[in-house]
């Protein structure tokens, strides 16, 4: 059974690794109700974890007093997640591709690579402290995007 009602929520959580578990527990049932496959659910879970860890580690500098805002929407054909931290931001274009040269031996950029691999759209705001990710349920995938969003 596919739900005809989009589910949209916004949650603010503490900047601790365990907080992402509860957030995904809120999202997962909505994916199941909308007939997302186990592969889709795994992909979304991994992308959320990577984006969230980046937000608390690199954005909020592991300061538990800072928060992470997660906006998500699950519709019958797509899931959209936006994760925003309280950090200064960064330029995603300067993060080296971890698949080449000396970068093979460095951990930097691996989370972003996974996010781009598992989601159909990955966009950062101009400041670089917010990432928007979309995964479509149907396999008619639009071209991958690593663009910046306008805010």
Q: What is the pLDDT of residues 54-92, one digit of tens each?
A: 999 999 999 989 999 999 999 999 999 999 999 999 988
Backbone φ and ψ of 44, nearest 5°: -65, -45
Q: Report whether 98 contacts 113 (CB < 8 A).
A: yes
Sheet hosting strand 121-124, strand order edge to edge: 7-14, 67-74, 78-84, 130-136, 121-124
CATH fold of 7-136: Heat Shock Protein 90 (3.30.565)
The residue ranges of every structural domain in the chain are: 7-136
Global pTM reads 0.85
CA distance 36 to 10: 21
What is the pLDDT confidence band of residue 141, given thresholds at 50, 70 and 90? very low
What's the whole-number mean pLDDT along residues 26-53? 96
Q: In 55-109, which residue ranges form alpha helices assigned H by DSSP?
A: none
Angle at 52 between CA 51 and CA 56, to 5 degrees: 120
> Two tokens at 95?
């993060």
Residue that the structure tokens 């906006």 belong to: 71
The average confidence (pLDDT) of the chain is: 88
Model confidence at 45: pLDDT above 60 = yes
What is the pLDDT confidence band of residue 4, given thresholds at 50, 70 and 90? low
The per-residue pLDDT for 110 is 77
């Amino acid at each position: 059974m596919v739900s005809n009602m989009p589910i949209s929520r916004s949650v603010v959580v503490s900047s601790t690794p365990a907080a992402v578990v509860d957030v995904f527990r809120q999202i997962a049932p909505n994916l199941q109700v909308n007939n997302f496959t186990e592969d889709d659910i795994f992909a979304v879970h991994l992308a959320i974890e990577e984006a969230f860890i980046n937000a608390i580690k690199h954005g909020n500098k592991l300061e538990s007093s800072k928060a992470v805002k997660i906006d998500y929407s699950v519709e019958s054909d797509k899931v959209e997640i936006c994760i925003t931290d309280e950090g200064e931001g960064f330029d995603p274009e300067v993060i080296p591709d971890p698949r080449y040269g000396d970068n093979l031996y460095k951990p930097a950029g691996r989370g972003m690579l996974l996010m781009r691999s598992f989601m159909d759209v990955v966009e950062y705001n101009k400041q670089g402290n917010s990432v928007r990710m979309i995964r479509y349920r149907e396999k008619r995938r639009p071209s991958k995007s690593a663009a910046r969003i306008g805010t």
